Amino acid sequence: MNIAALHTLYTSGASTPEATIAAIYDRINAEGLRPTWIALVPREQALARAKSLSTEEAKTLPLYGIPFAVKDNIDVAGIPTTAACPDYAYTPTDSATVVQKLEAAGAILIGKTNMDQFATGLVGTRSPYGICSSVFSKTHISGGSSAGSAVAVANGTVIFSLGTDTAGSGRVPAMFNNLVGLKPTRGVLSTHGVVPACRTLDCVSVFAETSADAATVLAAARGLDEKDPYSRTPRTGEGATPWAGSTIFRFGVPATSSLNFFGDTHNPALYQAAVDHLTVLGGTPVEIDLEPFLETARLLYQGPWVAERYAAIQPFLEDEGSHHAYQMDPTVSKIILGARSYTAIDAFKAAYKLEALRRTTSAVWADIDLLILPTAPRTYTIAEVEADPIALNSTLGTYTNFVNLLDLAAVAVPAGFRPDGLPFGVTLIAPAFTDNALLLAADRLHRAYATTLGNSQRKLTETPALKPTATPPGCLLMAVVGAHLTGQPLNWQLTQRKGRLVRTCRTHPDYKFYALANTTPAKPGLVRVPNFAGPGIEVEVWALPEDTVGSFVAGVPQPLGIGQLRLEDGSLVMGFIAEPAATEGATEITHFGGWRNYLAILK
């Protein structure tokens, strides 16, 4: 069930938060705690929380009565945090910032979910609390490290869950369980109260059945947190996405020769089908060189960043007289203790290499708006992973490990089913702070499949679609009427600034239109005349990144200027206006209704 559907039940009186919570605990009691869950909020405490939301004010909250789960490396007050290592457990007095924000938005926490120990793994098999399998196959892995969080949503126990994502842990389990997995921009969601894996790279992630639900959770949980030194918000224009919601966008596709599915015979065709769907939605595929991204991905586990995993739990590992390392999962212990072989010199050399790769990969974004890749090359069985745990784990991170190193945002989205019934998925990737635009694109792609949700028979088409905002994120709207129109001589001043056409419409009727004298190239001017009832003048409304508007305005010559322009629907946008003096020697062309119509008679 999704957020909107559950709210509809509450509003109609068909259910209540208390009834929802009671049913969840009955189900967990019948099915058993393991392997999905490590610990639950006491039933009576959760029911009391549900009852406390009976006020009219609470019913207006965006997550009113919505049950959720969190990965057990995220603090919840009064419940031990184990990170799937019982010997490491501690009981926090305060919940993590993201948990507090979600509860303030009306959500009800059910419990803490199973995970690969210390968030080290993409498999879901490295936990003393049991092995989570895909909800579609008991013999196939669920993906990790946020294994239980994905399963708890995919099997319909909770509406959404939190995971963490350093190398792909919020994306790989999404693919294996037919979910949307949002890996936000680093720092958008606070990591205060989260046991770190690699503190400089960690993200709190969101699992949900739909992009719309993930967007609602993101809106409720985001925000600058002074307690988290890595928390941040975008600068003006940073992460601007003029293409958000547009039917015209460019997306990166690697050369077929650079894609490796490690012997899988079904996933290549499913990936190509996703590319085809994105093309039908208006995207133009642009071939890119994937190798610099893959080289970056290899740095994560083949470079000194693994030493951050040691630093994260160093006091635990080096507790005098303890044998903690021997009580850890053998594979996790081998990976983390291997960090001791790296030196500060190695760290600096790797940092230099990463900066060079950032420079190389950043050039790609001049040609594309987003990148589409397989979320994972293939789905392994539990037996395959247990036979070769490190190599196969590395394979699973082929298309995920580079994302946080390069400071990118990503959304994993379902992309159909294989002939064997296992789900496939792709990930949409773009620069930092493009989270909302990616969710919008992911929702459009997801709906192209008209698929089911999680491991249920409920249809995605029966859920609300994610709607674009009137103004794309990080942008301002600019209306143009003459030489800046598409195909006209100054249109490059918009496209050079990555402007994107949003719509074509007309001004409010109270504008007169003039062909100005002595301008090169020829330009028109709009003059507002109160109570004038004209035909309205054709305009194009463009979205411009906020940080490019100043340079655009600075280039506008007198007698033209930029001001507030009223459109036919009454809305106001920035746009070209002319000084009244501009009409001297000008020719009124209002009756033509637009610059193109006027130019047509001059030919």
> What confidence tens digit (pLDDT) does each residue in 125-161 have?
999 999 999 999 999 999 999 999 999 999 999 999 9
> What confidence tens digit (pLDDT) does each residue in 546-597 have?
999 999 999 999 889 999 999 999 999 999 999 888 888 999 999 999 999 9
Token look-up 């909800």 returns 135
Q: What angle do CA 205, 383, 393 make, to 5 degrees?
A: 40
* Whole-structure pTM value: 0.95
Q: Which fold has domain 3-225+245-460?
A: Amidase signature (AS) enzymes (3.90.1300)
Q: Where are the alpha helices (DSSP H) in 108-210?
A: 147-154, 172-176
Cα distance between residue 246 and residue 240, in whole Å: 13
Among residues 95, 127, 133, 145, the one annotated as catalytic is 145
Separation in Å, CA 240 to CA 133, 437, 457, 467, 475: 39, 9, 37, 17, 6
One-letter amino acid of 204: V
Our answer to whether residue 145 is catalytic in this structure is: yes
Q: Report pLDDT for 603.
A: 72
Our answer to whether residue 71 is catalytic in this structure is: yes
For residue 295 the two structure tokens come to 């080289």
Cα distance between residue 69 and residue 37, in whole Å: 9
Neighbours of 258 (CB within 10 A): 13
Helix (H) or strand (E) holding 221: helix 211-221
Q: Round the average pLDDT of the chain to a whole number and report it.
A: 95
CATH topology match: 3-225+245-460 vs 475-602? no
Give residue limits of the domains in the chain: 3-225+245-460, 475-602
**Is 249's pLDDT higher than 80?**
yes
Neighbours of 48 (CB within 10 A): 12
CB 205 within 8 A of CB 165: yes
Cα distance between residue 446 and residue 442, in whole Å: 6
Token look-up 């390069």 returns 406
Rg for the chain, CA atoms, rounded = 27
Cα distance between residue 288 and residue 520, in whole Å: 39
Neighbours of 282 (CB within 10 A): 12
CATH number for region 475-602: 3.10.490.10
Q: What are phi and psi of 579, to 5 degrees?
A: -65, 145
Cα distance between residue 480 and residue 261, in whole Å: 47
Of 414, 410, 387, nearest to 399 by C-alpha is: 410
Half-sphere exposure of 212 (CA within 13 A, CB side): 19
Q: What percent of the chain has pLDDT over 90?
A: 91
> What confidence tens digit (pLDDT) does each residue in 477-502 have?
999 999 999 999 999 999 999 999 99
Cα distance between residue 508 and residue 530, in whole Å: 10
Our answer to whether residue 112 is catalytic in this structure is: no
Q: Report pLDDT for 83.
A: 97
Q: What angle do CA 494, 498, 504 make, to 5 degrees?
A: 55
Separation in Å, CA 494 to CA 481, 499, 553: 13, 5, 11
For residue 528 the two structure tokens come to 């507002």
Among residues 142, 146, 169, 246, the one annotated as catalytic is 169
> What confidence tens digit (pLDDT) does each residue in 254-303 have?
998 899 999 999 999 999 999 999 999 999 999 999 999 999 999 988 88
